[in-house]
Structure 1
Amino acid sequence: AKAGQARRLEFIEPQLATLEKDAPGGDDWLHEVKFDGYRMQAQIAGSEVRLLTRAGLDWTEKFEGPITAALAKLKCRDAIIDGEIVVLADSGVSSFPLLQADLSARRADRFIYYLFDLMRLDGEDLRREPLVERKQALAELLGRQPEDSALRFSDHFHEPGKVMLQHVCRMGLEGVVSKRADAPYRSGRGLSWIKSKCTLRQEFVIGGYLPSDKTGRGVRSLLVGYYEGGKLHYAGRVGTGFSGKMLTDLKKRLDRLEAKASPFSAAVPKGKGLTFVKPELVGEVEFRSWTSDRIIRHASFQGLREDKPAEEVVQEKPKKGQSEAKPDAKPAKASAGTAKTAIKLSHPDKLLWPDEKVSKQDLLDHYALVWPRMEPFVVNRPLALVRAPDGIQGQRFFQKHASPGMSDRIARMKDPTDGEEILYIKDFDGLAALVQYGVVEVHIWGSTIDALEKPDQIIFDLDPDEGVDVGKVREAALDIHRKLDELSLPNLVKTSGGKGYHVLVPLKPSADWDAVKDFAHDFARALEQAAPDRYTATLSKKARTGKIFVDYLRNGRGATTVAPYSSRAKKGATISMPATWPEIEKGLPPNAFPLGDETTLAQLKKA
């Protein structure tokens, strides 16, 4: 049992991470998942528990409930712990909008407090101890928590920083915080904690808004900015990401702050009903990129940040430049996404999908947006290409080898078994070169160029006969999911962009092609034997009548399947999109995501 009321502890200014483009490598670093929540310092003194924001505000009352109760049960006289409070979405990823919604609704049952540092324990200041020792002490303090506990130890990984960042981006997380394993705890921003992000996101000061024409909506867009040299610089408008209740609350707060003069240091674009406000509210915004004149593009509002004073908001810049062109260079037209390329598109307005009005530039913009997620699946992996230089209504070519005029950004190597040429890409310039070359589908081998003979995935491609209901195809995907779970094989799913789904089993690259293909064939035959009226493992059209062909042939050496996030040469300009099993259960169709559509952009914004 703890002593009763003890002397209150002093607030410790938190240590902050510096933004860099890449996660650091080397054995000196630990890597943690970057959470999307509120940074919170827990102070335990006798029987009293307090929760303080990174600015030192007391928010204990806001989060009172399971978190404070669990902290009070920890076996210590006193402690100061650093962490982040989040709410997890169904996908298991932290969601700032859900956290805000629960705070508004005074709902405390979903809050989870991830703890990642311990600065004081039982009267002893631990800040000079190495991080690894502080985390060890924190793990021992937490002990074995109940499964439904509101407290979680934020584990770390020793993977190379680049690999870790690829993993978290592939999972749709926000990014990585890398910390020097031997470093003390130093308040303020420094270089012993580095944050690297999958998407661009930061806080902005709200300096005005445009009212909505729609009844009850209140706000059409926010005018936001950041401080530099004591002045508030305009950074653009934010017009998406609002929910109904959030808008109502936001409008009330903006009304109370209405101002006659603009708070921005320079003139801003005018709009009907433009209203300025005192620059006191801070909002978190996710966006695709910065323009050359420092305006944000494709911005989405994530929620208000009440834990950060407005005057502290500045433009976050990576220490390593984000592939910015040199002043004397003449870059190609920048894509709208986060990735940049030196590849110049000829005829960027050429419509590759004429009915859908989707151009070459639109396709490049899509790939720029998804590149942080797509890169791990397509780089250094043998490719097959579907080209439609005159658009998908013209002639199409399936191509595995180089041809005249192909950019040198598309790499080549010799297949060691037969001397045939293999194509692959090393970076985003390679993918941009494929777009320039009229490639409308990117297909990948199940192995990398470094381990050609050792596949790192199994693919089951569900290919229904004409007329088979999409609901039956969805049930088939879920059936395979359950059977793979029974075999304790991890499995993922993506839409094909056409009529079916692709179920993927990630592998450690150790088995050879024959072993992997034999397993896939046996699995497909077992499905057929268990439900011969639903499935076939035979390729012929005749065997497939009224059934779903479980295509295991994608698992042979040299066979390919369409890459995650690739466009499809199909009506609707759809893409092959990774999804979650709960989304499939809720009825997500295989052609749900047209390129550039709001549905697709919303899916990509999910944590």
Structure 2
Amino acid sequence: MPSAIEPMMATLSDKPPRGDDWLFEVKWDGVRALAFVDHEEVRLQARSGLRCERQYPELAVIPHQIAGSQAVLDGEIAVLDDKGVSRFHLIQPRIANSDPNSVAHLVRSTPVVYFVFDLLYLDGYDLRNVALSERRKLLEEVVAPSEVLRVSEAFPRAGEEMLEAAREHGLEGVLAKHANSCYESRRSREWIKVKIVNEQEFVIGGFTEPQGDRQYFGALVLGVFDGTKLRWVGNVGTGFDQKMLASLFQRLTPLVTKACPFEERPKPDRGMTWVRPELVCQVKYAHWTEDKRLRAPVFLGLRNDVNPRQVKKEEPAAPPAALFAENEKEATRQIDGRTLKFTNLNKVFYPDEGYTKRDVLNFYNDIADLIVPHLKDRPLSLKRYPNGIKEEFFFQKNVPGAFAPWLRTELIQSEHNHGPIKYVFAGDRASLLYLVNLGCIDHNPWMSRSQSLDNPDFVLLDLDPQECPFEMIVDAALLVKRVLDQIGLEGYPKTTGGDGMHVYIPLEPVYTYEEARTFAELIARLVFDKKPDLFTTPRSVSKRKTNRVYFDYLQIGKSKTIAAPYVLRAYPGAPVATPLEWAEVRRGLHPSQFNITNVRERFADKGDLFAGVLERPQRLEAALEKLDGLFRELAHKR
């Protein structure tokens, strides 16, 4: 069981996300805590990484309410008012109080509830790479709710309704979590928070002199970190009672320093006493002013559970500047020196989710730098969806004269048609977006380039489900990886965006398609011999066994095409063919985890995981010798 986990954090947004794959929860106004259950004991870890179970002894019963010996839960510790609404100021007396006598009294007068919303580990199984929807199902199965432990309910497709209900009941806001999201120890766009009340943590960098009848101090001087620099954002002088003023002053006095902790000295600073920036407080406010100051702030309480260095100004994540604005129905743009006209931008391409042609064009514009190198110099077979994924589509290889004359095209002899076909290429952003404007949602290039059309530059290992769960696809891919390791070749995995996986083996373009296909067939035979219950290989669908992985090597051939890495697929949910690290290929992975709404952040973070397919070509001779040795070993064992 992990000894410590950094919690996954939500990204602020000003509106709920769209789509059927989002789950919505109440945003509890309390203290975030991970619960590490180890047989009869529970250890609570705050966001700061510090233990906090001494403050909440009533939660010691949690192990008895979990159907398991070891577990890691994620949730929020909250105190409810008489209407059942969590209020941060109510839990404030519990946060910093560890005196046994005081805590015992508070357990009776101010009891807490642990609202659990995630299950990260259970009895030997690390669940962080399992889809959230599956983690929640398991969570509800293993938790027996009580007065102190409750499962925070999640509602699918209910963003606007949840937000309105939150307003009516005076809640802080709502959380939206993508149903297929894995648990990442960082702030992620897979989890979105939409706040009704403007409220966040601030670092205390000083205090002002008291005025009139007030004692101890007048206001707290607040800041947020911008990198390593503490920026002043204003002062808060309301929200305190006499007891809180005395308690805070007692905490602040040992921290007094002569040095101003802020990068720029607050103005005016008369009567200010500086303190080391070690305390964090929760403050609600009306809004931010244009000069980045708090308007009408109100103190809510101290946050001992938050590391001061993690306190930053919360702002809705700025999406990349879209190529097309929401109000544009048609538009003309200069791209790569070309003038392109884009039409019918409001046309709905994904009816269930409401994604439009505009959304698809904006997506490809954002990821053009990633995908274009994988399309460059490769003839394309077009698949056009002029009215979206649920209407008629058609294939197009032979480019008509109506296409823009600046597009790169080439006549390539077709053995099947006994004549030349005029193929189009997409070697730059302008060409890519031109084709998307024609209704090309996904893009399907050859496995070879124009300089060496008879010689593929990768071997495609295509793993498709034959009425089997995706876990079996994962098992098959990992077996392929072990074989490639044994024969000294590098393979690059990706989801297809459909229900299968691809593994690319980059090649020097010196082998024929027949040689590449034969090599893939040898890999298929070897893994089949190792795990005959996992695979089926007959090309005829009627002859394939069900509950198996179909290892398709016959797709390797001149003029045959495959969905490129990074393409959007014409399936419900708008999934994206996504390159993976091998460490991500494990049970719990599912292609639907990667879609038009969330992959941009992933791609920005990880870069081109398929760069090696373009930059690290390999030869097969040594690998063939090692394959021969593996086959001999298998034959000897028989």
Q: Rg bigger for which structure?
A: 2
Higher share in helix: 2
TM-score normalised according to structure 1 size: 0.49
